[in-house]
């Protein structure tokens, strides 16, 4: 099955979408990558979901990506004697290391790293920002705050720290256990939650050892401040707007989304826009007009993928949500302003032969009105470079490595096909044209442009391009 859109769709699996038949329906509706949220998935269920996705992949004969999303550190207050208490704006409230149940004056905070790091003036946001505290004094084992907004706090509510950088990594013991489990199943992408600094990626990369690509979720102000460094070390970025909107002013999030998207375009790294894109479809068969515009904005920006969370995982209309996102993307990409906007965001390529080849391939394809750009890619780097150019024509990525094809299923505009490496240049042209013909991207008489590395099969050595005609039998000719 070929997609007739360039942006990709990530669908989260959950109670509403865990059985194999539903996973296949979601794929047929438009999902390209499936997300397994380890915050709500144990190891046995995770392995079952991966097996079911791979079964669907074999039936549809198309590479499907799997994204395992690690939970990250969940910071929560303790409990209260009466389960919840009422507070007043302006009153003082203490978070401390006393494990006794809390009351209207204090509560236990079982995170010594927070008690040691928060400074006077720092904000603490409780329960997704519904309660806002400002620190007025810190000491050994306590933080004294003033209530700025909100009137209630209850058991085990989450704590966000927009002004505080914690001296701990983003990988918890649960995450380490989950990471070992998901790597053993052969997932394609690992998403890291609540990272604050580029160093947070280092530990996971050391454990993964190239077995999966790493996606950094940007959901904290500290990560936004060090965005260039994080983009450099990550394989992809997710704009996790839910938590980002808790720790930063809501009105700042759209601008940050654009900054991240464009920075990833410059770096040639995939970027996923996520959270609450079609939120109303959790319980309604159609989205709001504002949600449609939100998805459309991400597509116009040139995001590689847009993501559904609870809409596909726990909603009443998972297939309809995917189909709606697919429909919105199709409409946007047909809009007469789409190519103009995408083209205006292009940046200069890096000063490498491979980047120059990818730029030339895009320019030649558009100048000569060729039907497709076909890239031979072993590691996926050539496919990423081709996508970075955001060409108007389809990108067909041919790889002998199934894991590479699965990872590229997240990348803008790439139609991935698992194919053996060509034996020589003639075979390279014939194989490329034949696959493009079989995948219904070209007709006899069309022309395509082919990029590859010589010697053939050398990872990261893109140094050649060819223009070829598609013959009557689907084979190519120079």
Residues 360 and 447 in one domain: yes
C-beta atoms surrounding 25 within 10 Å: 17
- Shared-domain flag, residues 193 and 312: yes
CATH at residue 380: 3.40.1380.20
Which CATH number goes with the domain that contains 99? 2.40.33.10
Distance CA 312, CA 436 (A): 32
Q: Are residues 51 and 144 in the same domain?
A: no
The verdict on 233 and 382 lying in the same domain is: no
Is residue 432 in some structural domain?
yes
The one-digit pLDDT tens for each residue of the chain (478 residues) are 789 899 999 999 999 999 999 999 999 999 999 999 999 999 999 999 999 999 999 999 999 999 999 999 989 999 999 999 999 999 999 999 999 999 999 999 999 999 999 999 999 999 989 999 999 999 999 999 999 999 999 999 999 999 999 988 778 999 999 999 999 999 999 999 999 999 999 989 999 999 999 999 999 999 999 999 999 999 999 999 999 999 899 999 999 999 999 999 999 999 999 999 999 999 999 999 999 999 999 999 999 999 999 999 999 999 999 999 999 999 999 999 999 999 988 888 787 888 899 999 999 999 999 999 999 999 999 999 999 999 999 999 999 999 999 999 999 999 999 998 888 888 889 999 999 999 999 999 999 999 987 777 666 678 889 999 998 776 666 5
What CATH number is attached to the domain comprising 29?
A: 3.20.20.60
User: Are 144 and 260 found together in one domain?
Assistant: no
Q: How far apart are CA 140 and CA 142, in angstroms?
A: 6
Positions marked catalytic: 35, 76, 217, 275
Residue 346 lies in a domain: no
Residues 65 and 205 in one domain: yes
d(Cα 67, Cα 58) in Å, to the nearest integer?
Answer: 18
Query: Which of 160, 182, 214 is the last residue before a domain boundary?
Result: 160
- Of 333, 366, 389, which residue is a domain's last? 333
Query: Domain limits at 438?
Result: 353-477
Query: Residue 286: which of 332, 330, 325 has the closest Cα?
Result: 325
Residues 119 and 207 in one domain: no
The verdict on residue 437 lying in a domain is: yes
Torsion of CA 439, 443, 447, 451, to 10 degrees: 10
Q: How many domains does the chain have?
A: 3
Judge whether 383 lies within some domain.
Answer: yes
Same domain for 105 and 51: no
Domain annotation covers residue 347: no
SS3 category, 182: helix
Looking at the domain assignment, is residue 21 inside a domain?
yes
Global pTM value: 0.93
């Amino acid at each position: 099955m070929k997609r007739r859109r360039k942006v990709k769709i990530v669908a989260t699996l959950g109670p509403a979408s865990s059985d194999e038949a539903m996973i296949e329906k979601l794929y047929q509706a438009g999902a390209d990558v499936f997300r397994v949220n380890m915050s709500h998935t144990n190891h046995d269920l995770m392995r079952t979901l991966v097996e079911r996705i791979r079964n669907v992949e074999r039936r549809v004969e198309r590479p499907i990506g799997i994204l395992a999303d690690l939970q990250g550190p969940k910071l929560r207050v303790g409990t209260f004697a009466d389960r919840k208490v009422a507070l007043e704006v302006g009153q003082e409230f203490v978070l401390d290391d006393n494990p006794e149940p809390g009351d209207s004056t204090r509560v236990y905070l079982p995170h010594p790293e927070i008690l040691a790091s928060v400074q006077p003036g720092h904000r603490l946001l409780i329960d997704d920002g519904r309660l806002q505290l400002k620190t007025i004094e810190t000491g050994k084992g306590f933080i004294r705050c003033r209530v700025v907004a909100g009137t209630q706090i209850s058991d085990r509510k989450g704590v966000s720290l927009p002004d505080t950088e914690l001296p701990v990594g983003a990988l918890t013991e649960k995450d380490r256990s989950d990471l070992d489990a998901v790597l053993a199943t052969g997932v394609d992408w690992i998403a890291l939650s609540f990272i604050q600094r580029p160093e947070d990626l280092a530990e996971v990369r050391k454990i993964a050892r190239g077995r999966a690509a790493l996606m950094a979720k940007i959901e904290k102000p500290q990560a936004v401040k060090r965005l260039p460094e994080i983009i450099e070390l990550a394989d992809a970025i997710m704009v996790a707007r839910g938590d980002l909107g808790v720790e930063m002013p809501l009105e700042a999030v759209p601008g940050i989304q654009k900054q991240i998207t464009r920075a990833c375009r410059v770096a040639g790294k995939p970027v996923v826009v996520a959270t609450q894109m079609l939120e109303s479809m959790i319980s309604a068969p159609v989205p709001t007009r504002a949600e449609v515009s939100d998805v459309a904005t991400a597509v116009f920006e040139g995001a590689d993928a847009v993501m559904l969370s609870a809409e596909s995982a726990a909603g009443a209309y998972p297939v309809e949500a995917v189909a709606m996102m697919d429909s919105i993307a199709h409409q946007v990409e047909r809009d007469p302003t789409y190519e103009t906007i995408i083209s205006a965001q292009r940046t200069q390529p890096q000063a490498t032969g491979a980047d120059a080849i990818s730029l030339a391939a895009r320019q030649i394809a558009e100048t000569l009105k060729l039907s497709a750009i076909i890239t031979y890619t072993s590691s996926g780097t050539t496919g990423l470079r081709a996508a970075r150019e955001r060409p108007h024509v389809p990108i067909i990525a041919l790889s002998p490595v199934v894991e590479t094809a699965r990872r590229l299923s997240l990348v803008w505009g790439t139609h991935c096909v698992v194919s053996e490496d060509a034996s020589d240049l003639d075979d390279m042209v014939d194989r490329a044209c034949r696959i493009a013909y079989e995948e219904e991207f070209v007709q006899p008489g069309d022309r395509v442009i082919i990029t590859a590395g010589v010697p053939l099969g050398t990872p990261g050595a893109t140094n050649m391009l060819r223009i070829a005609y598609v013959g009557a039998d689907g084979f190519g000719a120079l």
